[in-house]
Structure 1
Amino acid sequence: MQNPPADLPDSIEDLKAIIARQADAFTVLQHSLADELAASRQELAAAKSGLQLKALEIEKLKLTIARLRKVAFGKSSEKIHREIAQLELSLEELESEASGDDDPVALDHPDASASITGETSLPEKRKRRALPDHLPREEVRHEPQGDCPHCGGTLKQVGEDITEILDYVPGHFRVIRHVRPSLSCRSCESMVQRPMPSLPVERGMPSAHLLAHALVSKYADHLPLYRQSGIYARDGMELSRSLLANWVGKCASLMR
């Protein structure tokens, strides 16, 4: 229990005046907080509305592209193909902008349907898709150095964690396998393991080399993402335009 301040007046009237002033100050503070809360709610509503509009624009563009592809024949087919290419570029930009704040795990699952009706649901736990077996693997081991940091005892391996990252070197893909052995101290049974190196897309599959290649191809070489997707598919690596757009958006948010 706190002791009362020593400088309080003895007069009851003076005490009442102090209480009245504090009550007035509390009322002013309460009104100020209420105004700030109302402003925050308005900003949140505006942000949600903006996201919903982007989602609607993306769906509208997808439907337009699908409809144009069905009628892309005859004398006007060249004009229609040019229009499809322009719409593909617009769709890439919208998807990149909308992906800057996405869930990192969801970046490797860009085709999952998202509700734009305002209803919320519990997120499903998604597992990152495995990388193709035909790609060459390069293993990078992150071994703990020295003895047990807690007691100085000898360490023995009891397991390991493996994280596969999709990398790109000029001409082909490869997979970087980050192997982090789990070691146990023979003396105090403490567990020791080196941390995972920092990745440009947290818990995502792309390496910095692959992201740099996609960005340079798009912005320096003017190669749209849907064309990059087709090139990668011929190399045996299916990377959809939506997935590449998500990665581009994530890179943009990192560089802000």
Structure 2
Amino acid sequence: MSIATLHDENERLKALLAQTQATLSEHQGALAASEEARRRLEVILGELRRDKFGSKSEKLRPDQYHLPLEDVEIAQGILDAAQERAEKVIQGRSRSDPDRGSHRNRGCLPAHLPRVERIIEPASTLSPCGCGAMTKIGEDVSKRLDVIPAQWRVLVTRRPKYICRRCSGPVAQAHAPEHVVPGGLPTEAAIAHVIVSKFGDHTPFYRQAEIYARQGIRLDRATLGNWSGRACFHLQPIADHMRRHLAMADRLFMDETTAPVLDPGRGQTKKGYFWVRSRQTTVATAVQVHRSCCSDMPPVAAAPSRSSSWTALAEASCNAMPMTDMTG
């Protein structure tokens, strides 16, 4: 055997060793991810057993399982990615196979979302045999969910002034539009975004301020609170109209939910209340089905503040409405 042959065989064995080490590393990563997922599942299983067989003080609420289950999903995603990487190294694939079952679609893409298409052509469509351009016989189509992060912009409003140079007539200029914050920084769309994030998505003002700061927008939480307060002032007539509309119903239904609330100055919490009253066209009970005399009215629900009085609502509504249990 010649020296050149031995050199080539040595290089081949070195490459094989490097590939084997890479494969081993990928398998070790997949094994570690699998072990982490198993450990988290054992923790959740222990909590479920304690909830079912333990004492009442050890039992958990159903919403307390959300975060552990999310951790398990994250660990499962790490495990899937590690296994795919290991298989790719073992089989020597340069790209993933789109037809593999592991690439399953975990959700339906809504039809109303806009579709943005991009076509990835081969580096060359000329036949390597020299016969000219190749003919398209089909294509592979994949759909993925994409997102464009919220993009803030500066809305510049210009109001030109006009005057007649031949005479000393008045200056013509359009009136300045009314705003929720006169002469302030935000547009009505920005204020609506802040309110929905606060009361709809449960994102406090200080967290919103941190989110906006990542885009270079410096807003204090007090500023966001002032914007929301001004918007609530202008929205109050709508809430009053809904309350009057609600009082026109034959029957009202109320749900009372308690929640711990920080009590300033005492260093502890006190019991707070969420009161939601609603009007429904049909209410099912264990005895019979009661139908409202105003069944042609759409359902309405309102959440009053702690200082709201049911007595005032009872006086403004039908005298036949059973309000004795709600005025206390």
What TM-score, normalized to structure 1? Answer: 0.33
User: Bigger relative contact order, structure 1 or 2, given CA contacts below 8 A and separation 6+?
Assistant: 1
What TM-score, normalized to structure 2? Answer: 0.26
